[in-house]
Amino acid sequence: MQARMNGNALFLLETRRLILRDLLESDWPLVYALSREPLVTRYQTWFRLDGKPEVQRWLGALLSQTNRRQPRVSFNLAIVLKENESAIGWLGFGEPEDPTKGDMGFGYALVPSVWGNGYMTEAVEAMLDFAFESLNKESVYATCAESNRASARVLEKAGLVLVERWQESDDDFGIVEEHLCYRQERSEWARRR
């Protein structure tokens, strides 16, 4: 994993197959595609956006919030394949929504056409390295619906450990579903390296 800022002050994390770079306003087609994909929004109901104007407003607000604090405390990155420079997903991490779960929270979405190739695990591992090496975090966490076995598997493969279960209602449909919290501690991350 290599983290750096390019000449345009664009944040980059680089792995063997991926470039994770700051999400840009020009990435709205990726965000739109993810927000319209039922396989993605099934588990991320907050991510359902309707049309280009709403996507652009949402993305503009997200980027403004991400970039306004210095030093940066949150990052929203496009996941880009090195081989063809196509943006295939998003990884966001930063200040936790629930500080009792960890020092830093993260979430992600990946276009279904590239699922099953290990890209998200590779991206999460790079983010964990950055969080512990550069941001000096003590613990990092993510949550997912129990029924989202693919996401839970990504977290497990990246070394996170299941630490909590609870029931939560979907905002749009009121469906109560079991949710999981996975966490990685700095000491465990260091041991795995």
Alpha-carbon span 108 to 40, nearest angstrom: 10
The answer, yes or no, to whether residue 171 has pLDDT greater than 70, is no
Res. 10 pLDDT band, cuts 50 70 90: confident
The CA–CA distances, whole Å, from 88 to 25, 78, 79, 124 equal 15, 7, 6, 14
Instruction: For helices 119-133 and 149-157, give the axis angle rounded to 10 degrees.
Output: 50
Q: Does pLDDT of 2 surpass 70? A: no
- Full DSSP string of 9-78: --EEEE-SSEEEEE--GGGHHHHHHHHT-HHHHTT-GGG---HHHHHHHHHHHHHHHHHSSSS--EEEEE
pLDDT, position 193: 82
Confidence of residue 109 (pLDDT cuts 50, 70, 90): very high
How many separate domains does the chain show? 1
Domain of 171, CATH number, reads 3.40.630.30
Task: Kindly state the tokens that stand for 170.
Answer: 């979907």
Q: What percent of the chain has pLDDT over 90?
A: 53
Q: Containing domain of residue 34, as a range? A: 2-192
